[in-house]
Structure 1
Amino acid sequence: MVAVVVSVGGFLGMGEKHVAINWDAVKMSGNPDDRDLRVDMTRDELQSAPGI
């Protein structure tokens, strides 16, 4: 896996864009039945990232 695609911005599905995040920047926690994925990026960084 190279990247994760997330939806950023918008309201109720309008005005959002999709952004690719490098898989190395994603941190996993929790147990196998209940995983959490976290990205160490600010909201501004995500919104200013180029859309795909």
Structure 2
Amino acid sequence: MEPWLPSQVAAACSTGWQPGYYAWHLENVRRLPLPQAMMAARRLYKVDFSLIDSGA
């Protein structure tokens, strides 16, 4: 996590910024082998990739 800067608003497709906001810095982002239903929520959660069908 790092401070979110006003200069990053457009790249984030956001409509606003305020002092004190933070942003995640993601690395090693990978596409899943097949589309999978995943929970989408504003919190942190773990995905058990061993349960995801690899399509093989």
TM range (shorter): under 0.3
Structure in which a larger fraction of residues adopt helix: 1
Query: TM-score with structure 1 length normalisation?
Result: 0.22
Structure in which a larger fraction of residues adopt strand: 1
